[in-house]
Amino acid sequence: MTMATDVETPVQFGGDRSLFGLFLPASRRGAHAVLLCPPLGQDMIRSHRIYRQLARGLAAEGVPVLRFDYFGTGDSAGENIQLDWHRCLTDIGTAATELRTRSGCDTIMAFGARLGGSLAMQASASARFAKVVAWDPVLDGAAHVARQDAMQQALLGDLNRFAQPRSSMIDQWCGFPVPAALRQQLGKLQATAPAAPLHLLDSTPSGIPQRELLLAGGATVTPLRQPTPWDELERIEVAILSRELVEQASAALRTAH
């Protein structure tokens, strides 16, 4: 094992330096680097710790890593309501270019959880990913939209959270506004094989819906023993932590093949 420099450098890049990221170099120059594409909404906040753990683990293996926030999310510029699927895809390309420049590696692999996995798959051609590792990616957008709507309704009536049931005129999912365009974009999201080799990490209790379409196209899958509570109302503010995920994702991303 090669020791990482262990110091993440905050970076601001893209047009008007509007994107925020943290670059973690490796102590030796390797054959490839990894771009961590975050999920959206509350999944992003919940996954922050595990993304950091994954970045540190990969850097310790000699793989430079960039994690970043899309426009309208995290520390990047833009308001929540400006979140847009196509802009996220563009941002992934911008982040991949930034990672190539900083790491000196032309070969880039991508990792993404949930909608971050879906985005990484869609951006694989334009960002020239050598491989995509997707953890519980959303492959059926319409079902995802319906699930988020149902969770939001349950949240408004959750008397463990609110003293009285609430109503809202704002379209939102678990704390984040839903731009009208994004709702439409997600509603049309379908499982499509990415241009790059795809490895699925599946921690859903009954298998990622529609994953068979991708497996038939050559994708590989590692089932995870520990199910991830993505859509449990009681846990929407609990960090997503999984040693198994970090181990399996690291294994899938540490070599250039």
Partner 1 sequence: MNETAFRFGRADHLVGLLGAPASASSRGEVGVIVLNAGLVHHVGPFRLHVDLTRRLNASGYPTLRMDLSTLGDSGASGALQSREQQVRTDISDAMALLRAQAGCTRFVLIGLCSGAENAHLAACTEPSIAGAVFLDGYAYRTLGFRLRHYAPRLLQPARIARFLARRMRKAASPSIGAAEPSFSVEFPPLPQVRDELADMLQRGLRLCFIYSGGVSYFNHLRQFRECFGRHIATHGGASVHFLREVDHTYTLVEDRQRLVDMIDAWLRAQWP
Q: Binding residues for partner 1, per CB under 8 A? A: 6-12, 20, 22, 42, 45, 48-49, 52, 73-75, 77, 79-80, 155, 159-164, 166, 168-170, 172, 174-177, 234-235, 237-239
Cα(107)–Cα(109) distance, integer angstroms: 7
User: Closest approach of Cβ 73 to partner 1, in Å?
Assistant: 8
C-beta separation of 107 from 130 below 8 A: yes
Q: Is 72 left (phi over 0), alpha (psi -120 to 50) or beta?
A: left
Closer CB to partner 1, 106 or 237, in the complex: 237
CA-nearest of 168, 172, 163, 150 to 232 is 150
Nearer to partner 1, 77 or 246 (CB): 77
| Closest to 152 measured CA to CA, from 227, 72, 231, 43 | 231
Other residues' Cβ atoms within 10 Å of the Cβ of residue 249 = 28
Q: Which two tokens stand for residue 207?
A: 């298998």
Residue 200 or 240 having the CB closest to partner 1: 240
* 164 vs 206 by CB, closer to partner 1: 164
Helix (H) or strand (E) holding 222: strand 220-223
Could you tell me if 4 and 22 are in contact, meaning their C-beta atoms sit under 8 angstroms apart?
A: no
Round the CA-based radius of gyration of the chain to a whole number and report it. Answer: 18
**Residue 249 Cβ, how far from partner 1 at the closest point, in Å?**
19
Q: Which is nearer to partner 1, 188 or 235 (CB)?
A: 235
**Closest distance between partner 1 and the C-beta of residue 128, in Å?**
27
The DSSP string of 43-67 is HHHHHHHHHHHHHHHHHHTT--EEE
